[in-house]
Structure 1
Amino acid sequence: MTSLREHEATPGAGASTVGRVARYSGFRPEVQGLRFVAVLLVVLYHVFLGRVSGGVDVFLLISAFFLTLSFVRKLEAGRPLAIGRYWLHVFKRLLPLAVLTILGTLVLVAAVYPDADVARWRAEGLASVFYVENWALALNAVDYYAADHSTASPFQHFWSLSVQGQVFLLWPLVFGAAWLLIRWRGWRPVPVLAGMFGLIFAASLAWSVHSTATQQAFAYFDTRTRLWEFALGSLLALALPYLRPSRGVRVVLGWAGLVSMVSVGVLVDVQGAFPGWIALWPLASAAAIIVAGRSGSPFGLDRVLASKPLVRLGDASYALYLIHWPLLITYLVLRDRPMAGPRSGAVIILVSLVLAVLATKLVERPFQRWAWPERSKRRLAVSVAVSLALVAVPVLAWHQADARRAAVLAEEAARNNPGAAVLQPGFEFRGDPEAPTLPLAEEMAERPQDVGERCPEEWTRHYPVPSGCHVVRNSDAAGAVVYAVGNSHVEQWIPALEILAAERDWTLITFPRPGCFFTEEHPNPQAECAEWYESTRTFVEDNPPDILLTQATYDWIGEGDEELMTGYRAETEYWTGRGITVLGIRDNPRWPTDQTQCALQAGADDLSCGRPLDRALGPAESPAVQLERDIPRFGSLDMTDVICPEGYCPPAVGNVWVYRDSNHVTDVYARTAIAPFREEWDDAVSRAGFVP
């Protein structure tokens, strides 16, 4: 921290300048103690309650508070902002502990975590070191195909550090813009900054309230919904010198703020409500404590927060935040528990505290005192680059090694992983019985279904299709035009459809929308589904295909009461009445648990990981069969015998995993099922009376 003596020595600095700088100078031990309390709340709530406390929001506010004090001192003293050097310096300070935590966590991931999670956590480790983990989590939070969320990421806590890192890049630019205004207009720094941060506060809070109400899972990790929390910390730093409450008021503010801050996580579902307006509660509580400051009273909260033990723990709060989460998640993975117990939780916290203090003393402080990088910006840049490379190089090398292994296995897949081909009469397996089952467990979570290239703009410019029209295959010949329209249970058969389209020179176009059904009476309340249905229906009406493939039935998980999709009969009659052949594919069985994950732990041949078919779909015959009898030009497809041969649904067939999660068929298995799919398709179009 720049001393007052340094400001006095600044050329051209008058007494008024020194006074203004002094307002924003001085170490605030009570705020450092508050930083530890905020992080401790985070740790306690994570370990014992399995929820969040609002402590992270306080931590973010404090970060902006200190950052703002630093830059305001420079502006008031007329010193250069040195933004480039600041960026390099701050990440040179932050990265060593972060890199140590990420590398240690990656070792734990490789050693004890399920293989199915390794690739995902490895990618999140890379996202964490580059301060974009919040965006990785935001996209995953709304990803319909995201793997099971029951096991939290050991890097999940890096979301807030990523937001913080992004603000450490953005905020100096705000100060830079303020510097330009000050030079141009001759205004004082504090009013200019108050106006700028006030605008950021208002805009971000408005967006936060809106986004939290409409897409809370995404909003929770969105940097834009958090900027107002930093802006509030900056506004507090600017206003603090002008706030002079009496000693008694300081005592009341301090203790009331602490009680309020501690209670918010108990009284509010923070994770479900944040980061909307309700986040003002913990932030206002922390602001009250900061305004209370040094009360000078023996009864003031600052006597506790500014005590030497709490200030020293405040110094270790960054390390504590980094370390506690991967220790907790690794313990839960090892013990296969959703939460830690009282004794194990206490041990985790104690170990985290000890490691945090040691890491601060042995890693963070030595790197902070390391003088060599500070001698030039080039050296600072080298130190930052080396820190990033320490994570990026091994993670990318690990990824490449897995990719090479996967390529070798893919070359041998026809022989070693026949999948549904083993169900064909006379099949004889000639592959390696020790070959791994495909897709590999570590690939399972990162295999998005290929739905083709986006349709040309001239096709769609008049049709606002939210999910997008995609061309899997475009034929120049006079072959059939086939549309596959619907949710993921239509989408999962595109690999087999693509093979069939290539064999017969079709044009194959998809209109995928996860979670939505192609019927007017849609059971899904999402507005996006209704919009997708209306716009897609308009496109199909104006550009009718020869064959329209949709999902005909729906299997309610674990209830054995499969039924026709809501409104499906009317939808089918509408399209067949317009001369289009409609094929309705039967839903595949859905399970309450992921049988593939069961088999990955117990073995692919473990009978307890499979399911009898009658526990899922119920009736042996698809409800769509009756529809086929009633409606001309309609044909029913049923792939149940391929998914559940002879009435039993195994986790793997022919050394290929059937399901990628609890209810989606893997792309590898769908591709190996081309022979029965072709036969089922031909029978369905024949019964529907379609003539190519």
Structure 2
Amino acid sequence: MSQEITAAQRQHPTRVASKPSSYRPEVQGLRALAVLMVVTYHIWFGRVSGGVDIFLLISAFLLTLSFIRKVEAGRPLALGRYWMHLFKRLLPAVVVVLLAVLAATALFVPRSRWSDILAQTWSSLLYFQNWVLAANSVDYYATDQSVASPLQHFWSLSVQGQVFILWPLLFALAAVIARATRVRFRRIVLLVFGVVFVLSLTFSIHETYTNQAHAYFDTRTRLWEFAFGTLLALAIPYLKLPRPLRIAAGWVGLAAMLSGGFILDVQGQFPGYVALWPLVAAALVIVAGQTGSPIGADRVLTWKPLIRLGDMSYALYLWHWPILVIYLIWRGREEVGLVGGSAIIALSLVLAYLTTKFVERPLRSMAWVDAKKRRSGVVIAVCVALVAVPVAGWQQGLQVQKERAEAEAVQNNPGARVLLDGYEDQSSPESPTLPLLSSLGSEWGTLDGDCSSYDDGPTDPVLAERCVGTDSQDYEKTLLVLGDSHSQQWLGAIQPMAESNEYRVFALMLGACPFGEPNSERRPECNDFNEAALRYAHELKPDAVVAVGTAAHPTEAQDNVVAGLPEAAVDLAGFGIPVVAIRDNPRFGVNMIQCAEANGDRGDDCAFPLSDKLSDSSEMAAIFDSLQGLALVDMTDLICPDGWCSPVVGNVFVYLDDNHLTKSFTASMSGEFDRRFHDAVHW
């Protein structure tokens, strides 16, 4: 590599020797405006500004200038030293913020959200938060996102961290190719990152159109934005615009940058081709550069207070979001006003200043640490340990609490069993309510087997990836459970019934997709899923299909037969397959478990009359009696005993959120569910 660089210096001695300083004050001012956009849009407008995309571009732009100078000056890339130095500089501020978030979580955040925040602390610390959010964004069963995580903003830092590892490798690859082919290094860089730009942008457009929620956090859909910054850095030496055009470009870019978040649906349409708006806007400002004109945009961007804000933009980005979210949680609000928002910004600025002055700068300028890679490694290891130790200890403590409570659950947490005739309640008044609020993530119904272990398991890709089953190979009958999360929640009662009767169970689930004949009211994915499920039922010929038969309304006193279910039941009846329809549980306008946490789980503040939630039971029974092939199982009297729907029955939380039952509670109904199920199918 050094020979290739020496040759490049001989061919272009002045070009290499006359490199300008890497410091561009207008870019630092641009960074400051971008972080102000992010902060103000988050706090007051509830929108995404496009400022993060500008950060991505600037990061790649500056990184590219640095690596090109290195190679063309004949210096080794020294990737190991580069990464050590980089993460030694980035991690300390991250650690300070993560520790502050953990402390605030313990003080102000409900216990029901602790597990999720602890898990996201790991993903934030280790730079894979964006993948966690990408999975949750398309996961119907993910934790309630009505209030965002205080660590959600780490998604963009995770993407950057991943690119900070990938980009140097691509530069090293370009240097190897340039040496092997004797082609100028810049041309190879142009080729490599041009390919990245085209491939990533194409993928980004496709995924944004087909799966925008996932695409927003996907690293692959963001690589082209970094590549844009790299290509801009390569083009800058050749973009010699006349001064009047540069002045105009600066102002046009600045105006487009500041207005894009209002004009575009950034959160709903990014990061497809629409993300070109903030990137091109920022590029115009960078191309304009320092015009030296009193009316140039750079006159604003090089204003000293703005430059200083740019210097602490990283810390400001880290601090503003957790302060905002924890404030909203603490005050029980969904938004902040002018005064509250201004206070959040002021506190964020103070903490950003302190973090920059006493954490970032000292470690960045500590020559003793940079002198040897292992010293930087020690700093990184200490940073990781400072967060890892308390998080691991906290998670272990929650696990111990869970195991201790579950060991005594049979006696102290009877759930629906307490309502059955002859049951003698021997629970201790001091015993905790189950599930523990820190364990809600494991409260979705599931089965312990894999459908692929059976020869007659579904092979259609639409179904196979969504199928779970029991693991018993000796069975008397087969049950096929179909539908959405409201069918899934009953697996907590179905699995014990299946085990005691030697039944095999297959469960095919798609979130927000109740089982029934396809119809125009459902999204195409749901119709495709139900069509495939019907075809599979014809092939499998189970002894019964189980699905939720009604859909309750959160604010009206009614539940209606699921659209398309009667038609599907008639279809299946032609194959001799009965359909067992479980009546839907009441739904609410509030999160029942959070209401119980805030108001006490044994009070009346979160109790609602059943008559305000569901249709009359006798009328619903009569409707199903008139429908061919459908048998109704109604467990409402156990969910809402004595006509009242409360968050706790028998020292067990009934609801997981505002409309789903906990696995712990459905499991407590398994004995009575077994009896009513068999009465319905006459087995």
TM over 0.5: yes
Among 292, 296, 299, the residue aligned to 1:296? 292
CA contact (8 A) 1:124 1:133 kept: yes
1:67 is aligned to 2:58? no
How much has 1:364 moved relative to structure 2? Answer: 0.2
Query: Which of 229, 243, 246 is equivalent to 2:225?
Result: 229
Task: Provide the secondary structure at the position in 1 that maps to 2:545.
Answer: strand
Q: Which moved more, 1:576-585 or 1:91-100?
A: 576-585
The letter for the 1-side match of 2:581 is: G
Q: Corresponding residue for 1:31? A: 27
Structure 2 letter corresponding to 1:572: A
Show the 5 A alignment for 1:432-447: 432-447=428-443
Q: Which residue of 2 aligns with 1:4?
A: none
SS at the partner of 2:655? coil
Deviations 1:529-553 (A, max 9, x none): 2222222222221121112212222
Any idea what the Cα deviations from partners look like across 1:459-492, whole Å, max 9, x if unmatched?
3474334343322242425x12222222211211
2:160 corresponds, among 159, 164, 186, to 164
What is the rounded CA distance, in whole Å, between the counterparts of 2:113 and 2:565 in structure 1? 38
Give the aligned partner of residue 370 of structure 2: 374
| Mapped partners of 1:547, 1:642: distance in 2 | 24
CA distance in 2, matches of 1:27, 1:569: 70
Structure 2 alignment gaps of length 5 or more: none
Deviation of 1:629 (Å) = 4.8
Alpha-carbon spacing, 1:480–1:460, altered in 2? closer, same or farther (3 Å)? closer
Residues 392-411 of structure 1: matches in 2 within 5 Å?
Answer: 392-411=388-407
Q: 2:580 aligns with which of 560, 564, 583?
A: 583
1:384 maps onto 2:380 in alignment: yes
Paired residue for 1:616, among 609, 613, 618?
613
- Counterpart position of 1:548: 545
- Per-residue CA deviations over 1:342-387 (Å, capped at 9, x if unaligned) read 1121121122112211211111000111223322222222222221
What is the rounded CA distance, in whole Å, between the counterparts of 2:41 and 2:370 in structure 1?
38
Are 1:471 and 2:466 matched, yes or no? no
Q: Is the 8 A contact 1:45 1:53 kept in 2?
A: yes
Aligned to 1:525: 522
Partner of 2:204: 208
- On the 8 A contact 1:25/1:69 being kept in 2, the answer is no
The match for 1:284 is 280
Structure 1 pair 195/355, CA: closer, same or farther in 2 (3 Å)?
same
Give the letter aligned to residue 470 of structure 1: V
Partner Cα distance (2:375, 2:456) in 1: 54
Matching residue within 84, 109, 114 for 1:113 = 109
Report the counterpart of residue 449 of structure 1 in structure 2.
Answer: 445
Distance in structure 1 (CA, Å) of the matches to 2:461 and 2:159: 33
Q: CA deviation at 1:618?
A: 1.9
- Change in Cα spacing, 1:109 to 1:475, as seen in structure 2 (3 Å) is same
What is the match of residue 53 of structure 2?
57
Amino acid at match of 1:381: G
Give a deviation string over 1:654-686, Cα, whole Å, max 9, x none. Answer: 010101011111000011112221221121122
| 1:147 equivalent in alignment to 2:143 | yes
Greater shift, 442-451 or 596-605, is seen at 442-451
Partner deviation per Cα, 1:284-343 (whole Å, 9 max, x = no partner): 111111001110212222222223332222111101111111111122122222111111
CA drift of 1:634 comes to 4.0
Q: Which of the residues 511, 515, 528 maps onto 1:514?
A: 511
> How far apart, CA to CA, are the structure 1 residues paired with 2:32 and 2:450?
50
**Take 2:334 and 2:93, find their aligned partners in 1: how far apart are those partners?**
28
CA distance in 1, matches of 2:265, 2:256: 15
Q: Structure 1 stretch 369-378 or stretch 337-346: which is displaced more?
A: 369-378
Distance in 1, matches of 2:281 and 2:436, equals 49
Amino acid at match of 2:73: A
CA distance in 1: counterparts of 2:327 and 2:71, whole angstroms: 48
SS at match of 1:554: strand
How much does 1:411 deviate? 0.2
Distance 1:681 1:598 in 2: 32
SS of residue in 2 equivalent to 1:563:
strand
1:526 Cα deviation after fit: 2.5
Q: Is the 8 A contact 2:518 2:531 kept in 1?
A: no
Task: Return closer, same or farther for 1:626/1:305 CA change in 2, 3 Å cut-off.
Answer: closer
Where does residue 483 of structure 2 map in the other structure? 486
Partner residue, 2:190: 194
Amino acid at match of 1:565: V
* 2:92 equivalent to 1:101: no
Q: Is the 8 A contact 2:203 2:221 kept in 1?
A: yes
Whole-angstrom distance in 2 between the partners of 1:636 and 1:678:
13
Instruction: Say whether 1:413 aligns with 2:402.
Output: no
**Structure-2 residue corresponding to 1:498:** 495
Structure 2 match to 1:5: none
The Cα shift of 1:556 comes to 2.7
**Counterpart code for 1:538:** R
CA distance in structure 1 between the partners assigned to 2:427 and 2:568 by the alignment: 46
Cα 1:446–1:424 change in 2 (3 A) is closer
Q: CA deviation at 1:627?
A: 3.2
Return the offset for 1:146: 2.1
Secondary structure at the aligned position of 1:608 is classed as: coil
Post-superposition Cα deviations, 1:27-72, rounded to whole Å, max 9, x if no partner, equal: 2111111111110111111112122211111111100000000111
User: One-letter code of the match for 1:474?
Assistant: S
Question: Offset of 1:524 from its aligned partner?
Answer: 5.2
Q: Which runs of 5+ in 1 are unaligned?
A: 1-8
Q: Which secondary structure state, in structure 1, belongs to the residue aligned with residue 152 of structure 2?
A: coil
Paired letter, 1:618: S
Structure 2: how far apart are the matches of 1:432 and 1:674? 23
TM-score, structure 1 length as denominator? Answer: 0.94
In the alignment, which of 600, 605, 617 is matched to residue 602 of structure 2? 605
Query: Could you tell me which residue of structure 1 aligns to residue 640 of structure 2?
Result: 644
Q: Provide the residue aligned with 1:3 in structure 2.
A: none
Distance 1:80 1:630 in 2: 77
Amino acid at match of 2:561: L
What is the CA–CA distance in structure 2 between the aligned matches of 1:309 and 1:264, rounded to whole Å? 24
Q: Which residue of 1 aligns with 2:531?
A: 534
Secondary structure of 1:62's match?
helix
**Whole-Å separation in 2 of the counterparts to 1:320 and 1:564:** 52
Instruction: Give the Å deviation of 1:523.
Output: 5.8
How many residues are paired up?
677
Q: Deviations over 1:624-666 (max 9, x none)?
A: 54333553x6421111111111211111100101010111110
Q: Provide the C-alpha distance between the structure 1 equivalents of 2:520 and 2:417, rounded to a whole number of angstroms.
A: 36
Counterpart among 321, 325, 339 of residue 325 in structure 1: 321
Structure 1 stretch 11-20 or stretch 335-344: which is displaced more? 11-20
Aligned pair 1:423/2:419, yes or no?
A: yes
**Aligned residue type for 2:47:** R
Task: Report the alpha carbon displacement of residue 452 of structure 1 after superposing the two structures with TM.
Answer: 3.2
Alpha-carbon distance between aligned partners in 2 of 1:344 and 1:530, rounded to the nearest angstrom: 46
Name the stretch that deviates more: 53-62 or 613-622: 613-622
2:270 partner letter: F
Residue from 656, 660, 681 that aligns with 1:660: 656
Residues 1:21 and 1:580: Cα distance change in structure 2 (over 3 Å)? farther
Is the contact between residue 9 and residue 72 of structure 2 (CA under 8 Å) also seen in structure 1? no
Q: 1:78 to 1:375 in 2, by over 3 A?
A: same
Q: In the superposition, relative to structure 1, how do residues 403 and 19 fare at CA in structure 2: closer, same or farther (>3 Å)? A: same
Code of the aligned partner of 2:588: W
Distance apart, 1:397 and its partner CA: 1.4
Native 8 Å contact 2:48 2:267 kept in 1: yes
Aligned mates of 1:372, 1:447 — CA distance in 2: 51
Contact persistence 2:44–2:336 (CA under 8 A): yes
**How far 1:399 moved relative to its partner?**
0.5
Identity of aligned residues (%): 45
